[in-house]
């Protein structure tokens, strides 16, 4: 892939293009392919034995990395102080509820008017089954989980340039794609074009499997009839008694389907991160972070903006000011060691006493722009009118996707869905609008999929992550070159300072990466503390 200058496009450019064209799921797929995302390596709860007596660790940041570090260090016997910029714990593990206020860079303030019990997760919103560290904390801290529905065959796939702009049911796109591909391959096999690649016996098994896979009829065609309708749906569904008899549906045109590009979204369900089961904490993604916070609350100091991190051979001194009163409430907090989980987008603006390798690594990682919108509607029209219970609809419009709540099905009254999730240029464009204009445009675009949007819309909130004051971005975007040059140096202990967070992991953008990074950092720090002091409890 080339850019307009003729030079090879960078990985960041590739991901930005993926985010612009196919949205966050495709962007994540690109991240996984390029080494940004890897499986969890969690092997069980930490055992940090023999903490040096009286040793004090400063933890900067009360997101998932900082909270998990503080919790494990406290359990190991360390004295812990957590310094957090915000007036709440959780960092990006954040849920916005009715009555919450949020002020972004530039001063625009939003007040959430969601009904009681409704919320939106502007940051993380899913926990895959193989994110074992996050699931372990949920189990140990008694945080109830519920299923997150990633794929709903009754949701929509939408392209403004295909099928007259009319959204198509996921199931019909998938059935037609599988059916047409199966028919083409069956024809190739029957015409002898696979001879030499498969034996006669294998050919019979292949044809049998293709008929099953694609819903082909006895003539090995993907045609109107029961096998295809049983996958894509009926024009008139089977009923009872003297109701109208079932009517089969006609498969869609193969060429139109190929041109539509809607088939690209079918791969989401097959990606490692999105294979069932997927979970979410009941009542909001922040519930696990808040459960950790309750364990260490006496050690957490809020509204503590870090302005300087100084260290020498004896310890670490962190200068903070009151985040609510810039330039005021300045004080210093001292400790023997420091675990810094501040995002690199912010840490790169802080005066840090560290070696040149670590300082260069801190400045080497840009952060992605992302945008989410939570919309409250007066009723669950997606369930009541269209039979969509959870899952995600995808569109080529900038909003990217619509995610339906996977809980409280058939509840009466208002409900909140995720009305937009976008990366890259689209995120910049939407965040540049004023808050009311953002909502109007999100509702307008969503109305191309659901005609009920405008009539049923009640209120909403939006978050453009590059305008969030305490991070200025969504996640760290490593390039292959930057990882090779800086990653190990970023993670290495510098004297008495070690960094942790999703940016210091190969599972970027996920809470699991933040937690595993913290576990690894404090394990190495603990070993160094014991070796340095030579005295243990």
pLDDT at residue 35, as a whole number: 41
User: In the predicted model, what is the mean pLDDT of residues 415-434?
Assistant: 96
Query: Are residues 415 and 454 both part of a single domain?
Result: yes
Residue 139 pLDDT:
97
pLDDT tens profile 169-202? 999 999 999 999 999 999 999 999 998 899 989 9
Q: How is residue 430 written in tokens?
A: 């939407």
Strand partners, 57: 80, 337
Question: Does the pLDDT of residue 22 top 50, yes or no?
Answer: no
pLDDT given at position 9: 38
pLDDT for res 39: 61
In a domain, 472, yes or no: no
Q: Model confidence at 534, in pLDDT bands (50, 70, 90)?
A: low
- Domain identity same for 255 and 181: yes
Res 510 pLDDT > 90: yes
> Which of 467, 493, 524 is the endpoint of a domain?
467
28 or 76: which leads in pLDDT: 76
Instruction: Give Cβ neighbours of residue 297 (< 8 Å, ≥ 6 apart).
Output: none
Residue 421 has pLDDT above 80, yes or no: yes
**Of the residues 427, 446, 467, which one is the last residue of a structural domain?**
467
What would the pLDDT profile of 69-126 be if each residue is shown by its tens digit? Answer: 999 999 999 999 999 999 999 999 999 999 999 999 999 999 999 999 999 999 999 9
386-390 contacts: CB < 8 A, separation 24 or more? 386/154, 386/450, 387/154, 388/152, 388/154, 388/155, 388/156, 389/149, 389/152, 389/154, 390/147, 390/148, 390/149, 390/152
Q: Are residues 383 and 418 in the same domain?
A: yes
**397 and 361 fall within a common domain:** no
Q: How confident is the model at residue 33 (pLDDT cuts 50, 70, 90)?
A: very low
Domain total of the chain: 3
C-beta atoms surrounding 185 within 10 Å = 19
- pLDDT tens digits along 366-375: 999 999 999 9
Render 4-47 in DSSP notation, one character per residue: TTSSBPPHHHHHHHHHHHT-HHHHHHHHHHTTSB------SS--
Percent of the chain exceeding pLDDT 70 equals 92
**Quick one: 319 exposed, middle or buried, by C-beta within 10 A (0-12, 13-18, 19+)?**
middle
Task: Report yes or no: 522 and 73 within 8 Å, Cβ to Cβ.
Answer: yes
Note whether 387 and 405 are same-domain residues. yes
Segments of 104-244 assigned E as strands: 109-111, 119-120, 127-128, 145-147, 156-158, 168-169
Asked whether residue 29 is assigned to any structural domain, the reply reads no
Mean pLDDT of 442-447: 98
| Cis-peptide, bond into residue 277, ω within 30° of zero | yes
Alpha-helical (H) ranges within 51-150 are 64-76, 132-140
- Looking at the fold, whether 74 and 208 belong to one and the same domain comes out as no
| Mean pLDDT across the chain | 92
Distances (CA, A) of 530 to 142, 296, 527, 535: 32, 23, 5, 7
One domain for residues 190 and 253? yes
Same-domain status, 489 and 348:
yes
pLDDT at 11 over 50: no
Phi, psi (rounded to 5 degrees) for 130? -100, 10
Nearest Cα neighbor of 125 from 372, 395, 341, 368 is: 372
Residues for the chain: how many in total? 537
- Domain membership flag for residue 212: yes
State residue 7's pLDDT score: 33
Identify the sign of the CA torsion 41, 47, 49, 51: positive
The dihedral over CA atoms of 29, 32, 511, 133, expressed in degrees to the nearest 10, equals 120
The β-bridge relationship of strands 304-311 and 351-352 is: parallel
pLDDT digits (tens, 9 = 90+) for 372-403: 999 999 999 999 999 999 999 999 999 999 99
Domain with 463, as residue range(s), is 97-128+145-154+276-281+368-467
Is there a domain that residue 66 lies in? yes
Residue 30: what pLDDT? 46
Q: Are 316 and 239 found together in one domain?
A: no
User: What's the mean pLDDT in 44-68?
Assistant: 93
Domain with residue 109: its CATH number is 3.90.660.10
Is residue 518 within 8 Å of 486, Cβ to Cβ?
A: no
In Å, how far from its chain's centre is CA 284? Answer: 14
- 176 with 252, same domain: the answer is yes
Regarding whether 484 and 361 lie in a shared domain, the answer is: yes
Does the pLDDT value for residue 163 go beyond 50? yes
- Rounded average pLDDT over 518-525: 98
Q: In whole angstroms, what is the distance from residue 428 CA to residue 342 CA?
A: 23
Would you say residue 271 has pLDDT above 90?
A: no
CATH number where 227 lies: 1.20.1440.240
- Specify which residues 301 forms β-bridges with: 83
Mean pLDDT over residues 33-59, rounded?
77
Strands 156-158 and 109-111: unpaired
Cα→Cα distances 403→270, 399, 421, Å? 18, 11, 9
Least confident interval from 42-51, 135-144, 426-435, 502-511: 42-51
Confidence check: pLDDT of 168 > 60:
yes
Residues 233, 246: Cα–Cα separation, whole Å: 11
CATH number at residue 348: 3.50.50.60
The position carrying tokens 């005066």 is 351
Classify residue 291: in a domain, yes or no: yes
- Least confidently predicted of 228-232, 253-257, 268-272, 390-394: 268-272
Q: Is residue 267 part of a domain?
A: no
* pLDDT attached to residue 76: 96
| Both tokens assigned to 432 | 């540049």
Residue 356 resides in a domain: yes
Helix axes 511-533, 132-140, angle to 10 degrees: 80
Tokens of 277: 């089961």
Task: Decide if 165 is inside a domain.
Answer: no
Residues 357 and 385 occupy one common structural domain:
no
Residue found by looking up tokens 């009539």 in the block: 455
For strands 304-311 and 96-97, give the pairing. Answer: unpaired
């Amino acid at each position: 892939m080339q850019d307009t200058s003729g030079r090879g496009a960078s990985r960041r450019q590739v991901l930005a293009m993926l985010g612009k064209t196919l949205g966050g799921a495709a962007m994540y797929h690109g991240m996984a392919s390029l080494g940004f995302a890897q499986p969890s390596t969690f092997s069980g709860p930490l055992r940090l034995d023999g903490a040096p007596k009286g040793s004090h660790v400063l933890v900067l940041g009360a997101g998932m990395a900082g909270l998990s570090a503080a919790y494990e260090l406290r359990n190991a016997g360390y004295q812990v102080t957590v310094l957090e910029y915000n007036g709440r714990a959780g960092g990006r593990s954040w849920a916005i509820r009715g009555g919450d206020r949020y002020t972004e860079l530039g001063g625009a303030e939003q007040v959430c008017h969601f009904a009681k019990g409704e919320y939106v997760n502007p940051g993380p919103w899913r926990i895959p089954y193989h994110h074992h560290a996050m699931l372990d904390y949920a189990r140990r801290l008694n945080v109830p989980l519920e299923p997150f529905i990633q794929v709903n065959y009754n949701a929509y796939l939408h392209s403004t340039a295909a099928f007259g702009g009319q959204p198509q049911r996921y199931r019909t796109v998938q059935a037609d794609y599988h059916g047409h591909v199966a028919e083409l391959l069956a024809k190739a096999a029957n015409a002898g074009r696979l001879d030499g690649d498969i034996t006669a016996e294998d050919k019979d098994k292949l044809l049998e499997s293709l008929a099953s896979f694609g819903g082909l009829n006895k003539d090995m065609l993907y045609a109107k009839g029961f096998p295809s309708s049983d996958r894509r749906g009926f024009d008139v569904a089977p009923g009872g008694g003297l109701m109208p008899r079932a009517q089969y549906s006609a498969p869609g045109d193969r060429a139109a389907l190929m041109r539509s590009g809607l088939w690209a979204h079918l791969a989401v369900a097959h990606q490692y991160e999105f294979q069932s089961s997927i979970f979410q904490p009941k009542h909001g993604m922040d519930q696990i972070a808040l459960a950790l916070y309750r364990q260490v609350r006496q050690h957490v100091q809020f509204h503590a903006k870090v302005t300087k991190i100084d260290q020498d051979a004896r310890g670490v001194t962190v200068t903070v000011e009151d985040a609510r009163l810039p330039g005021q409430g300045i004080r210093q907090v001292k400790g023997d060691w420091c675990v810094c989980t501040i995002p690199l987008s912010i840490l790169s603006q802080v005066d840090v006493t560290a070696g040149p390798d670590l300082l260069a690594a801190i400045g080497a990682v840009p952060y992605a722009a992302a945008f989410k919108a939570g919309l409250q509607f007066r009723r669950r029209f997606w369930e009541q009118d269209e039979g969509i219970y959870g899952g995600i609809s995808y569109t080529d419009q900038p909003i990217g996707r619509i995610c339906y709540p996977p809980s409280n099905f058939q509840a009466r009254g208002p409900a909140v869905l995720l009305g937009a999730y976008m990366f890259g240029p689209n995120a910049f464009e939407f965040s540049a609008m004023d808050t009311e204009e953002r909502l109007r445009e999100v509702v307008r675009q969503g109305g191309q999929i659901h005609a009920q949007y405008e009539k049923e819309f009640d209120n909403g909130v939006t978050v453009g992550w590059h305008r969030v004051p305490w991070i200025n971005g969504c996640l760290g975007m490593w390039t292959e070159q930057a990882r090779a040059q800086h990653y190990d140096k970023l993670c290495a202990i510098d004297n008495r300072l070690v960094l942790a967070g999703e940016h210091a992991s190969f599972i970027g953008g996920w809470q699991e990466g933040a937690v595993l990074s913290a576990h690894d950092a404090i394990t190495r720090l603990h070993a160094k503390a014991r070796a340095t002091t030579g005295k243990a409890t």
